[in-house]
Amino acid sequence: MEILVLVKRVPATDSQIKIAADGKSYDAQGVEFVLNPYDEFAVEEALKTKEARGGTVTVMTLGTSAAQKDLRTCLAMGADKAILLTCEDHPDSAAVASVLAEKSKELAPDLIFCGKQAVDDDAGQVGPRVATLLGFACATDVNSLEIGDDTFAATRDIEGGRETIEGKLPAVITCQKGLNEPRYPNLKGIMAAKKKPLDEAAATPPDNKVEVVALEPPAERPAPSILGEGAAAVTTLIDKLQNEAKVL
């Protein structure tokens, strides 16, 4: 079974993010980058599928050459080979999906895994867009999965319940927390990753269809205040809840 995992390098979620002077991007200075956490579920599920059914796991990303490090992490976890499509620009979701889908055609995968979203822009578009461009079945936000010879059954949480969908391979599965517990790479894996193929090729994404026009940090929370003590404070509290917080 040919298995492909689409991953992305993102700022670590415990990084302190500063908005850059242009007001449209963030300042990457001093920011630690990691493999998108949801993509770790995707890599783990790909490895588990390979262990159960055999095949090859390829990880692929579109990004700067710095993403080599994250691809090596995937190789250390157990992926067989990696492809880095290099690009210095900031393509939008449609452009990213277009490049990844084009390259995917060459690999003819039976299954494509990716995180349900990248935690930097939270767009969540690449998985479904790639599926559409390739004409593959697609299951999003999957937290339980069974793979048959040429079928899949995916379960996902929906409002007030769980939904199970079945479909035919080839398919794109976007992975949600709960699907598995990603393995840590061990020393042997880290050493082996050095020798695994990591192919690099320049990508030319199509023009962006959307652009980021503003990026703002969340509003600062106002300082808390003590309204009073005991029963005397109740009237003030109700007034604040009604007129300031507007929750009553």
Q: Which of 20, 28, 52, 191 contacts other proteins by CB under 8 A? A: 191
Q: Are 171 and 136 in contact (CB under 8 A)?
A: yes
Cα within 13 Å of Cα(112), Cβ side: 33
Q: Is 222 in the site for other proteins (CB under 8 A)?
A: no
Q: Is 126 in the site for other proteins (CB under 8 A)?
A: no
Distance (Å, whole) CA 19 – CA 189? 37
CB of 183 or CB of 240, closer to other proteins? 183
Sign, CA torsion 86/92/97/99? negative
Query: Scanning residues 55 to 74, which ones bind other proteins (CB under 8 A)?
Result: 72-73
Cβ of residue 183: shortest distance to other proteins, in angstroms? 7
Question: Which residue in 40, 45, 36, 41 sits closest to 8, CA to CA?
Answer: 36
| Burial of 82 (C-beta count, 10 Å sphere; 0-12/13-18/19+) | buried
Q: Which of 91, 115, 127, 185 contacts other proteins by CB under 8 A? A: 185
Q: Is 223 in the site for other proteins (CB under 8 A)?
A: no
Cβ of residue 247: shortest distance to other proteins, in angstroms? 21
Q: Is 198 in the site for other proteins (CB under 8 A)?
A: no
CB of 218 or CB of 230, closer to other proteins? 218
Residues 6+ apart with CB under 8 A from 241: 247, 248
Distance (Å, whole) CA 94 – CA 212? 14
Distance (Å, whole) CA 84 – CA 72? 11
Q: Map residues 86-125 to x or -, x wherever contact with other proteins holds by CB under 8 A.
A: ---------------------------------xx-----
Query: Which residues lie near other proteins (CB under 8 A)?
Result: 11-14, 16-19, 26, 34-35, 37, 40, 72-73, 76, 119-120, 177, 181-188, 190-191, 194, 216-218, 220
